[in-house]
Amino acid sequence: MDEKLMDQVMEEVLKKLNSGNTDVVKRKDAPVEEQKERTNKTFGANGITEFVGTAIGDTVGLVIANVDSELLASMNLDKSYRSIGIIGGRTGAGPQIMAADEAVKATNTEIIKIELPRDTKGGAGHGCLIIFGADDVSDARRAVEVVLDDLDRTFGDVYGNDAGHIELQYTARASKALAYTFGAKEGQAFGIIVGAPAAIGVVTADTALKAANVEVVSYSTPTNGNSFSNECTVTITGDSGAVRQAVLAAKDVGVKLLEALGGEAPSSTKPYI
Amino acid sequence: MDEKLMDQVMEEVLKKLNSGNTDVVKRKDAPVEEQKERTNKTFGANGITEFVGTAIGDTVGLVIANVDSELLASMNLDKSYRSIGIIGGRTGAGPQIMAADEAVKATNTEIIKIELPRDTKGGAGHGCLIIFGADDVSDARRAVEVVLDDLDRTFGDVYGNDAGHIELQYTARASKALAYTFGAKEGQAFGIIVGAPAAIGVVTADTALKAANVEVVSYSTPTNGNSFSNECTVTITGDSGAVRQAVLAAKDVGVKLLEALGGEAPSSTKPYI
Amino acid sequence: MDEKLMDQVMEEVLKKLNSGNTDVVKRKDAPVEEQKERTNKTFGANGITEFVGTAIGDTVGLVIANVDSELLASMNLDKSYRSIGIIGGRTGAGPQIMAADEAVKATNTEIIKIELPRDTKGGAGHGCLIIFGADDVSDARRAVEVVLDDLDRTFGDVYGNDAGHIELQYTARASKALAYTFGAKEGQAFGIIVGAPAAIGVVTADTALKAANVEVVSYSTPTNGNSFSNECTVTITGDSGAVRQAVLAAKDVGVKLLEALGGEAPSSTKPYI
């Protein structure tokens, strides 16, 4: 095969490989129809009752109707429930926590554990493990479904390239998942600003705080609050308009810095803020 | 180059790239003959006496006949030995620890340190660093050789795809490496069940405990017992038949869940349980 | 497309992909001219004043002239400065710390924070976050520039392949960044020896200490001193000739071991020791 043709092929191959090779996520979930088919095929006759579904970020949703009592004792949960809902992903903590925040508002469940592994499949951030407790398994299942359905939205302001990612989250009214993870005050506006590599996260935090009249709720660095991820994370509260404005100002600066380091950094899905 | 031909090339390229792209391990070790040749070539005339060999999981086996005394003082080992054997891998902790458990049974050595880095080369789990102490370097070398030889077996029930892995280990009689790492009782049947992402590990733990009359020895989550890996790990003991049954039940459910999330999840080598 | 042609394409594609696929770094920085152009294009009219530049290891250099006072209170810095310089990279801690050590010698700045995330983009090591404090932002910017300019040098003795890396650093006169991170005594010769996977790092540490009359300053393992990276790191001091000799002896053994595990392990740039 002649050298020139090979170069041409390589150029195209690398272009196509790189276009999907962001630090953050590739949409893994097939269209609903297709996914249903795949799920049915896999679980077919001998379906596994614990399985609820999958979503972006290699996220899986599961339920256990009646947790083994010895396991329950080992799990060190904040409160014991026999029925639990489980959300776990390889990529993303913020998007799943935001979606879980909506889920506890919408269902009769409690957040009884959130842990952040160091993950993102070689990227700079976290994965997640979120556990809902419920008196009735149908409530736990409903919470898990709400999270899976909401993830396309909450991944909308995750911007990534090979060098890192910028993540923004915003809600007009924080609930228990955000209170659990970051110490958010329930019922108040709340914003999350993550920059990776962590150096960029210092600047995005500074930008957010200067852009509007907001207060710091938490500030985390790789070895102090984060799970050794290469991120700095600031969370903020205040008037809802101010929080939104601060988040958007941080996005502008953060995405530009990330793009200066690693090239185009598109949204993982579709911006929502 | 026309678009249609390029699409055809890309399809083939991606198919071939993905076929080898599991979360867990690709067999790196060449056939024995070939590997010996490579090793001889690399180390040729000026062989390095510390080198013993390599195996699956980017595992390397090494010995030091007489550790520098100042280093020994800094190493913070459980017990000082001048001769040490060293096993370290990028991918896998369970397989190497199981093999080390056999090695301490078979040789005149002790386990004096096991540490689990967060690794697997972008995957969801751990790497490992295992140190054997011995009075005689030939014993240390023998222990390292036993581990390297046993790894093909102990990787047999590691099932992986791009989204995570399920790992099962089983022994009828636990020894000192399992006691060191998990608090196993020596001489008793022992099983390890790992699920990644961690959400799946919660369900596999629950499945195992419900499937047979077994007891929990340890339960680890990403930030509580694991090194920020995206895994939940339960270890169990009991009657040897019950432990085996529990492990196999967890495998069935775990592999199905992992495959629902990320597609086919084959064994890294050949199942042994 | 016929099978034979496809195989030929695949062979070429894989060859080209693999040639750049080391565990450590690919040179990301384009030639100066080109990079300047890219930066100008990205930041164009609405330049972001915090941006200084980028370098190897997905390293970004930033400054903040006047850190928001609420952020400053949350940052938990060793000493409060209103002007800070920030260096952060996805790959490498040693190279950036060595360069920062030169920067504090050359500028009117202080090191006020160094944190090591677990990173290297799926590799075995760390990323970094380094913060300089200064009374004047021009001093902070100057320190950041010195680091970015020095990284090509300090990555010179980072040798890597798909299985891990060996890193060596040497200075005749340690300064405050090395004192901060490793407890180096200022003004004395200082060497860093890193081996990954960690098993190789045990042997390189032993080799260094036996090769010359040097003293251990620090010894770190995955879960004891390192941020769960798959590395063992020894740092040494002594007569400058002895330190250099110890470092070079460790390099010889370490690179041979790493190459026995994972094939050719070239320098990331150009050896400087």
**Residues C230 and C197 sit within 8 Å (Cβ to Cβ):** yes
Give the pLDDT confidence score for residue B47 in this predicted structure: 79
pLDDT value at A34 more than 50: no
Which residues of A lie closer than 8 Å to B, measured between beta carbons?
Answer: 5, 8-9, 12-13, 16, 28, 38-39, 42-43, 48, 50-51, 54, 58, 60-62, 64, 67-68, 70-71, 74-76, 84, 86-90, 115-119, 121-122, 127, 129, 131, 227-228
Q: Give the model confidence (pLDDT) of B105-121 as tens digits.
A: 999 999 999 999 999 99
Interface test with C, best of B24, B64, B74 (most C CBs within 10 A): B74
The share of chain B scoring above pLDDT 90, in percent, equals 81
Q: Which of A46-60, B186-200, C185-199 has the lowest mean pLDDT?
A: A46-60
Task: Report pLDDT for A188.
Answer: 98
| Confidence band for B7, pLDDT divided at 50, 70 and 90 | low
Measured between beta carbons, the chain B residues lying within 8 angstroms of C260 are 38-39, 42-43, 51, 54, 60
User: How much is the pLDDT for B4?
Assistant: 62
Nearest to B124 among A16, A38, A90 (CB): A90
3-class DSSP assignment, residue B177: helix
Distance from the Cα of C70 to chain B's closest Cα (Å) equals: 29
Closest CA to B128 of B71, B184, B79, B60: B60
Give the integer Cα–Cα distance in Å for B48 and C252: 10
Q: Which of C12, C43, C61 sits opposite A1 (nearest CB)?
A: C12
Given this model, what pLDDT does residue A80 score?
A: 86
From A116's Cα to the closest Cα of chain C, the distance in A is 14
Which is higher by pLDDT, A80 or C175?
Answer: C175
pLDDT at C12 (0 to 100): 60
Of A60, A74, A84, the CB nearest to B261: A60
Beta carbons within 8 Å of C18's beta carbon, 6+ residues apart = none
In the prediction, which pLDDT does B80 show? 86
User: What is the rounded average pLDDT of the residues B198-213?
Assistant: 98
Q: Which chain A residue's Cα is nearest to C60?
A: A261
Chain C nearest-CA residue for A22: C121
Contacts of A203 (CB under 8 A, 6+ apart): A195, A253, A254, A257, C50, C62, C64, C86
Check whether C223 has a pLDDT greater than 90. Answer: yes
Highest mean pLDDT: which range of A36-40, A41-45, A115-119? A115-119
Give the pLDDT confidence score for residue C259 in this predicted structure: 95
Distances (CA, A) of A168 to A201, A271, A272, B28, B35: 11, 9, 10, 40, 50
* Predicted pLDDT of residue C47: 79
Q: What's the rounded Cα separation, in Å, for the pair B71 and C124? A: 22
What per-residue confidence (pLDDT) applies to A200?
98
In angstroms, the CA C48 to CA C237 distance is 42
The least confident of A207-221, B10-24, B214-228, C146-160 is B10-24
Q: Which chain A residues contact residue C61 at CB under 8 A?
A: 199
Do C1 and B13 count as a contact with CB atoms less than 8 A apart?
no
pLDDT of residue C41: 42
- CA B124 – CA A57 distance, rounded (Å): 13
Using CA atoms, how far residue C10 sits from B3, B13, B14, B183, C66, in Å, is 18, 6, 10, 48, 53
> What is the SS3 string spanning chain A?
CCHHHHHHHHHHHHHHHHHHCCCCCCCCCCCHHHHHHHHHHHHCCCCCCCEEEEECCCEEEEEECCCCHHHHHHCCCCCCCCEEEEEEECCCCHHHHHHHHHHHHHCCCEEEEEECCECCCCCCCECEEEEEEECCHHHHHHHHHHHHHHHHHHCCCEEEECCEEEEEEEECCCCHHHHHHHCCCCCCEEEEEEEECHHHHHHHHHHHHHHCCEEEEEEEECCEECCCCCCEEEEEEECHHHHHHHHHHHHHHHHHHHHHHHCCCCECCCCCC
CA distances from B185 to B93, B113, B245 (A): 19, 18, 19
Residues with Cβ within 8 Å of B184's Cβ and at least 6 positions away in sequence, in order, are B174, B178, B190, B217, B235, B237
* Share above pLDDT 70 across residues of chain A, in percent, rounded to a whole number: 83
Q: Mean of the per-residue pLDDT values for chain C?
A: 89
Q: What is the distance between the alpha carbons of residues B158 and B265, in angstroms, rounded to a whole number? A: 9
Q: How far is A206 from chain C (nearest CA, A)?
A: 6
Do the chains contact at A9 and C9, CB–CB below 8 Å? yes
The span from the CA of C237 to the CA of A19, in Å, is 47
Cβ of C117 within 8 Å of Cβ of A123? The answer is no
pLDDT tens figures, B48-99 = 999 999 999 999 999 999 999 999 999 989 888 999 999 999 999 999 999 9
Smallest CA–CA distance from B71 into chain C, residue = C206
- The answer to whether the Cβ–Cβ distance between A70 and B221 falls below 8 Å is no
- Report the distance separating Cα C90 and Cα A135, nearest Å: 44
Q: Which of B123, B124, B257 sits opposite A51 (nearest CB)?
A: B257
Higher pLDDT, A114 or B34: A114
pLDDT surpassing 50 at residue A141: yes
CB B97, CB B127: distance < 8 Å = no
The answer to whether residues A121 and A91 touch, using CB atoms and an 8 Å cutoff, is yes
Place of tokens 């639990």: A84
- A251 to chain C, minimum CA–CA distance in Å? 13
pLDDT digits (tens, 9 = 90+) for C58-90: 999 999 999 999 999 999 898 889 999 999 999
CB B217, CB B233: distance < 8 Å: no
Q: How far is CA B221 from the centre of its chain?
A: 17
Q: CA-CA distances (angstroms) from residue C156 to B269, C240, C273?
A: 38, 19, 8
**Chain C hits for A216, Cβ within 8 Å:** 70-71, 74
C7-31 residue pLDDT tens: 666 666 555 554 444 454 533 444 4
Name the percent of chain C in helix, strand, coil, to the closest 5: 40, 25, 35
Q: What is the pTM of this model?
A: 0.87
Nearest Cβ partner of B16 from C10, C199, C253?
C10
B41 burial (CB, 10 Å; 0-12 / 13-18 / 19+) is exposed
Taking CA–CA distances from A206, the nearest residue in chain C reads C68
What local confidence, expressed as pLDDT, does residue B262 receive? 94
Half-sphere exposure of A76 (CA within 13 A, CB side): 11
Instruction: Say yes or no for a CB contact (<8 Å) between A230 and C87.
Output: no
Tell if the CB–CB gap between C48 and A230 is shorter than 8 Å.
no
Handedness of CA A272, A236, A149, B200 (dihedral sign): positive
pLDDT tens figures, C196-210:
999 999 999 999 999
Six-digit token string for C236: 């040494």
Cβ distance of B222 and A116 shorter than 8 Å: yes
Whether the pLDDT of residue A152 is over 90: the answer is yes
pLDDT over 80 at C107, yes or no: yes
B238 - beta bridge partners?
A: B189
C210 vs B68: CB contact, 8 Å cut-off? yes
Give yes or no for residue C113 having a pLDDT over 60: yes
**Chain C nearest CA to A254, separation (Å):** 10
CB pairs under 8 A between A and B: 137
pLDDT tens string A209-244: 999 999 999 999 999 999 999 999 999 999 999 999
| Beta-sheet pairing, C158-161 with C164-171 | antiparallel
Average predicted confidence (pLDDT) for chain B: 89
Per-residue pLDDT band for A78 (boundaries 50, 70, 90) equals: confident
pLDDT attached to residue A30: 39
pLDDT for the residue numbered C40 = 40
d(CA A166, CA A200): 9
Q: What is the pLDDT of residue C37?
A: 42
pLDDT score for C79 = 85
* Residue burial A97-128, b: 16+ Cβ < 10 Å; e: rest: bbbbbbbbbebebbbbbbbbbbbbbbbbbbbb
Structure confidence at residue C7 (pLDDT): 62
* Chain B residues contacting A via beta carbons under 8 Å: 1, 6, 9-10, 13, 118, 121-124, 163-164, 197-200, 202-203, 205-206, 209-210, 215-216, 218-219, 221-224, 226, 228-232, 234, 253, 256-257, 259-262
Share of chain C above pLDDT 70, in %: 83
Q: Do C230 and B39 touch (CB under 8 A)?
A: no
Contact C81, C110 (CB under 8 A): yes
Q: Which of A13, A163, A218 sits opposite C58 (nearest CB)?
A: A163
Asked if A22 and A160 touch (Cβ cutoff 8 Å), the reply is yes
CA gap C163, B176 in Å, rounded = 29
Phi/psi for A254 (5° steps) reads -60, -45
Q: What is the mean pLDDT of chain A?
A: 89
Record: contact B224-A76, CB cut-off 8 A = yes
- What per-residue confidence (pLDDT) applies to A45? 27
**Average pLDDT for residues B10-36, to the nearest whole number?**
47
pLDDT higher than threshold 50 for residue B42: no
pLDDT of residue A33: 41
10 Å CB burial of residue C272 (0-12, 13-18, 19+) is middle
Closest partner residue to A199 (CB to CB) among C8, C76, C86 is: C86
* Local structure of residue C267 (DSSP, 8 states): B
Tell me what pLDDT residue B187 has: 98
**Which chain B residues are within 8 Å of C1, Cβ to Cβ?**
5, 8-9, 12
